[in-house]
Amino acid sequence: MAKCLQNLHTHSTYCDGKDTIEEMILAACEKGLRSIGFSSHAFWKGLPVPKQVIDNYKYEIAEFKKKFADKIEVFCGLECEMHGDMDLCGFDYLIGAVHYLPLGNEFVCFDWSAQDVQTIIQQYFGGDGMAYAKAYYQQLAQLPQHGSFDIIAHFDLITKHCEKVQFFDRSSKEYQWAAIEAAEQLAGKIPYFEVNTGAMARGYRTSPYPDMFLLKELKRLGFGAIISTDCHDSRFLDYGYQDAVEVLRECGFKEQFILTKDGFIPTEL
């Protein structure tokens, strides 16, 4: 069994996580991780998180970096929405994500439930699930316009609720082309993507994001892989790590990237 080295996609009580920063760090130490990074949501319920909250978050993580310096390396990151309008300086790394689609006059979150997805497809896409999927990938491809991101979060988040209800055909060429086109547009602009087991931990998916066809394309396009669990509960900090390693190997990856004080470095899988 491969041992989990690092998790850079974690949420605490600063957003929708269950545990405090300190509880997450203690759990990471217990599980033997060499480092942990926090990636609080910069945008929440359609609004930017207030500056004061982000400042407190940064301060608290800086304090715990010192407190735990001899036990584990702690990094301060952010999971950013493309329409967020905040100062993105002073973080160790930035994850770019799309959880909202600009529809009508508002940003609509498609991440919550299958019921919401159903409503969005009916209300905004005339019942056409494929048009909905394509709108997501068009948004994703625009990420670099909104910040200098290091990691693309859950590349095919749009598939989160698709295992129970088939909103669009994931095996169709039409769907896969939309995803591959986004990957081609992001290549050379955001260096890393994550293999994310978060939806497995929460019972939405039976395999990590992204789907295998997409992993192979990301490999072809030269993206580096980062394994994360998109953790909202310290019990799941290393959930599905072995699955992520196996799927990466199966798709031809020989290494994953780890964040260190000297930046991201490749490590053998």
Instruction: Please say whether the beta carbons of 92 and 102 come within 8 A.
Output: no
Span near Zn ion by CB under 5 A; candidates 121-129, 181-189, 223-231, 252-260: 223-231
CB nearer to Zn ion: pick between 229 and 256: 229
Name the segment binding Zn ion (CB under 5 A); options: 48-56, 138-146, 153-161, 252-260.
Answer: 153-161
CA 266 centroid distance within chain: 19
Shortest Å distance, C-beta 70 to Zn ion:
28
Q: Which span sits near Zn ion by CB under 5 A: 79-87, 160-168, 170-178, 202-210?
A: 79-87
- Checking 254-258 for CB contacts under 8 A at 24+ apart, the result is 255/224, 255/225, 256/224, 256/225, 256/226, 256/227, 257/192, 257/224, 257/225, 257/226, 258/5, 258/6, 258/34, 258/35, 258/226
Binding mask 1-40 for Zn ion (x = CB under 5 A): ----------------------------------------
Q: What mask of x and - would describe binding to Zn ion in positions 94 to 113, judged by CB under 5 A?
A: ---x----------------
- What H or E segment, with its residue span, contains residue 26? helix 21-30
Residue among 134 and 232 whose Cβ is closer to Zn ion: 232
Q: Which residues contact residue 38 at a Cβ distance below 8 angstroms, ignoring those fewer than 6 apart?
A: 10, 11, 12, 14, 21, 24, 57, 61, 74, 75, 76, 77
User: Measured from the CB of residue 43, what is the shortest distance to Zn ion in angstroms?
Assistant: 10
Q: Looking at 57-65, 73-81, 134-142, 249-257, which segment touches Zn ion (CB under 5 A)?
A: 73-81
Span interacting with Zn ion, options 83-91, 150-158, 178-186, 244-252, rule CB under 5 A:
150-158
3-class secondary-structure state, position 79: strand
Q: Are 207 and 242 in contact (CB under 8 A)?
A: no
CA distance linking residue 94 with residue 186, whole number of Å: 15
Measured from the CB atom, the residue of 153 and 245 that comes closer to Zn ion is 153
- Give the nearer residue to Zn ion in terms of CB position, either 16 or 250: 16
Among 19, 81, 150, 230, binds Zn ion (CB under 5 A): 230
- Residue 94 vs 153, nearer CB to Zn ion: 153
For residue 259, the minimal CB distance to Zn ion (Å) is: 16
Q: Are 222 and 187 in contact (CB under 8 A)?
A: yes
Per the listing, tokens 């800086």 go with 62
Looking at the Cβ atoms of 156 and 230, the one nearer to Zn ion is 230
Q: Please name the residue that has the structure tokens 């953790």.
A: 231
CB 197 within 8 A of CB 230: yes
Using CB under 5 A, list all residues that contact Zn ion.
Answer: 79, 97, 153, 230
